[in-house]
A and B are shown apart, each in its own frame.
Chain A
Amino acid sequence: MTKRIDFQTNPSMYRHWRVDYDGDVANLTMDVDENGGLFDGYQLKLNSYDLGVDIELADVVQRMRFEHPEVKVVVMRSGKDKVFCAGANIRMLGGASHAHKVNFCKFTNETRNTFEAAEADSGQKYVAAVKGACAGGGYELALACNHIMLVDDSTSSVALPEVPLLAVLPGTGGLTRVTDKRKVRRDLADIFCSLEEGIKGKRAKQWRLVDEVVATSKFDETVAERAKEFAAASDKATGTGIALNPLKKTIDDNGSIHYSLVEVDVDREGRKVTITLNGPDRDVPASTEALEAEGDQSWMLRLAREFDDAILELRLNEMELGLVVFRTQGDPEAVLAHEAFMLANKDHWLAGEILQYWKRVLKRVDVTSRSLVALVENGSCYAGFLAELLWASDRSYMMDGEFDGDNRPVATVTLSDGNFGPFPMGNDLTRLETRFLGEPEAVGTLKGKLGEAMEAEDAMEAGLVTEAFDDIDWEDEIRIFMEERASFSPDAMTGMEANLRFAGPETMETRIFGRLTAWQNWIFNRPNATGTDGALQRYGTGVRGDYNMQRV
Chain B
Amino acid sequence: MTATVKEPQKEGSYKVDAIKEGVVIDHIPPKKALKVLEILGLAELDNVVIVGMNFSSKKMKMKDVVKIEKRVLTKDETDKISLIAPSASVSVIKDFKVVEKRHVEVPDEVKKVIQCPNPNCITQSNGVKSYFHIVKKTSPLQARCHYCEKIFDEKEFLF
Our verdict on whether A and B bind, yes or no, reads: no
A positions within 8 Å CB-CB of B: none
